Structure 1
């Protein structure tokens, strides 16, 4: 696991439910980690809602339209599927049917979702604040959804 004291590979999300800290895994998915950091530094995720939240499964975010139909203006990413299991707290990229269609949307697993293993790109894991993720309002789509207030790379945050 990536050391949580690696500020360049740590994300801090301030959500409407509280703070969530994610350890990034560039060892597993270097292109996806680079994309997430690029978008976080551009403040892309600020104000984006958790548009698809399924109890016992996952909370999905990262769509600028708030519907699950959009992404950033950057090109889609080539899949970096890996053997890291989809378990509680894991962060993985959402995608369309095409394996190489991940862009900006991602999800955080509430519990084990091993059926996704090696089919979606795992790029991080929640190290603090999973109790806040657990409080995110459920729905498909979510009515009056929770959101990411801000998402920053820890190295960019004043101590």
Structure 2
């Protein structure tokens, strides 16, 4: 009854239909999803990984591809490449794998001598931003840095007041472990399993896993053994610089350029997702939750 009179069933049905329709989220008109943006990208929006700055970590589970920084922490980049070329890591292990924290690998009991690499490194926690850093800032506020964004497609922090920059401990970051002294890093490295931003500017990040992170995540959890006879974790079969392998053995990967115009639209599509699934859009994206796409290069 409505106002003392009966209501037709069709009127009730239409009202219910209208209520149901209004309960659905609306897409953002004129905005493309991240998938649509990437599908429409041009070849110049991508860059091939530089073989001289690409590291392959071979595990029994599969191969892990690490993109090394071409702009920051260059002494650490040179160190890991020198150690790889010595074969230093071959047959060693990921001996410290802590759930939700890091997977640390190297020579736990210091059984091997360093040949061409340095025994220890000076810290590169942050450094004066070099010419050509190519920092693309995000407008979103960050709790750990005055500004965050990307340099060479790697998550990066920047302090305009001091002119200093550093790479961030997002998931997949690779850095050198150290003792309490700031200049005690040498051979032991770790890969973050989840973002560990409180470590920023306390250790030197020099790259990031761009393929095969599932192999790192699947490593058996293990604490450092007390003796060489203890559980040393899963074996590192080898670590190689991609440039030292035949072209046919390299992963033909490309990464989205964060200095390309399309990146701004891509970042916005993650900040305010336009798909109809989303009822609330925060107008914010965390730098570590903005994955930089990597794809296999098409055969020419």
Q: What TM-score does the superposition give when structure 1 sets the normalisation length?
A: 0.90
Aligned match for 1:99, one of 182, 196, 219: 182
Q: Would the aligned equivalents of 1:71 and 1:103 in 2 still touch at CA under 8 Å?
A: no
Q: What TM-score does the superposition give when structure 2 sets the normalisation length?
A: 0.49
Distance 1:100 1:71 in 2: 20
RMSD after superposition: 1.7
2:145 paired with 1:57: no
* 1:31 aligned partner: 75
2:42 paired with 1:18: no
The structural deviation recorded for 1:119 is: 0.2
State the SS of the aligned residue for 1:147.
Answer: strand
Q: Which has the higher helix share?
A: 2
State the structure with more CA Rg.
2
CA deviation map 1:69-103 (0-9, x unaligned): 67753320000113321010000110000010000
Higher relative contact order (CA 8 A, sep 6+): 1
State the SS of the aligned residue for 1:21.
Answer: strand
Structure 1 128/137 Cα, relative in aligned 2: closer, same or farther at 3 Å?
A: same
The structural deviation recorded for 1:4 is: 4.8
Distance 1:21 1:123 in 2: 14
Runs of 4+ in 1 over 6 A off after TM superposition: none
The structural deviation recorded for 1:141 is: 2.3
* 2:234 aligned partner: 146
Distance 2:123 2:245 in 1: 30
Distance 1:102 1:57 in 2: 19
Distance 1:144 1:98 in 2: 25
* 2:192 aligned partner: 109
